[in-house]
Amino acid sequence: MFPNNRPPFRRLPKIRENVNEAIRVKEVRAVFPDGQVEVMATPAAIRRAQELGLDLILVSPTAEPPVAKAMDYGQWQYEQKKKTHDAKKKQHVIQVKEVKFRPNTDDHDYDFKKNHALRFLKEGNRVKAVVQFRGREIAHVDLGKKLLLRFAEDLKDVGTVEGQPKLEGRNAHIIMSPIKVQAPPAKAKEKPAGAPSPKLDA
């Protein structure tokens, strides 16, 4: 066996970007906890933050000059993670929900699945309605097309059809997208009682 002369592996400390000495710009608009804002040389801003027991963190690197804030680095990390978490919660991922029919689907089963599709569209998701043909049912494609057109008509208030019904193999389908609800127009401010009416120019 050959001796292993390699030095032991050392894990390098993780460099905190845009914090204290890692800030590379010459001067910053420094913001301190007492509300004071001052454009000053970066080293001086770092020293002042450290005198307060805080870190200097570059919060707006693209500003002119860049904005740095004196605060606790751990607190700043917590706030950033919370912002990211809240943004993910608000973000809605549009999914394609599928509902399946047969060309001879009875009214009860049809209404049950239509109500599912109604809920999917109201939640902001797209819906793929599929009619499956088995065996000799493929000879009655027209029944499947009528069912899909009926489905689209019943949900026209909440969804729009993307194209015409399509036949792929032994399945026919349509895809519906939710209708975007527009915000109601802002109401005009009511004129207080007794306020003088505006005069018209002669």
Where do the structural domains in the chain lie, given as residue ranges?
A: 20-78, 96-178
Specify the CATH architecture of the domain 96-178: 2-Layer Sandwich (3.30)
Report the pLDDT value the prediction gives residue 132, as an integer from 0 to 100: 93
Gap between the Cα atoms of 69 and 38, Å rounded: 11
Sites in the chain below the pLDDT cut of 50: 12-13, 15, 182-184, 198, 200-202
Report the pLDDT value the prediction gives residue 3, as an integer from 0 to 100: 56
Report the pLDDT value the prediction gives residue 77, as an integer from 0 to 100: 87
Report the pLDDT value the prediction gives residue 200, as an integer from 0 to 100: 44
Q: Spell out the residues 6+ positions from residue 100 whose beta carbon is closer than 8 angstroms to its own.
A: 113, 130, 131, 132
Gap between the Cα atoms of 171 and 146, Å rounded: 14
3.10.20.80, 3.40.50.720, 1.10.3720.10, 3.30.390.50: which CATH number matches 20-78?
3.10.20.80
Gap between the Cα atoms of 139 and 143, Å rounded: 9
Contact 23, 58 (CB under 8 A): yes
Report helix angle 107-122 to 141-154, nearest 10.
50
Report the pLDDT value the prediction gives residue 54, as an integer from 0 to 100: 93
Report the pLDDT value the prediction gives residue 180, as an integer from 0 to 100: 72
Report the pLDDT value the prediction gives residue 191, as an integer from 0 to 100: 54
Report the pLDDT value the prediction gives residue 97, as an integer from 0 to 100: 92
Neighbour tally for 121: CB within 10 Å = 21
Whole-structure pTM over 0.85, yes or no? no
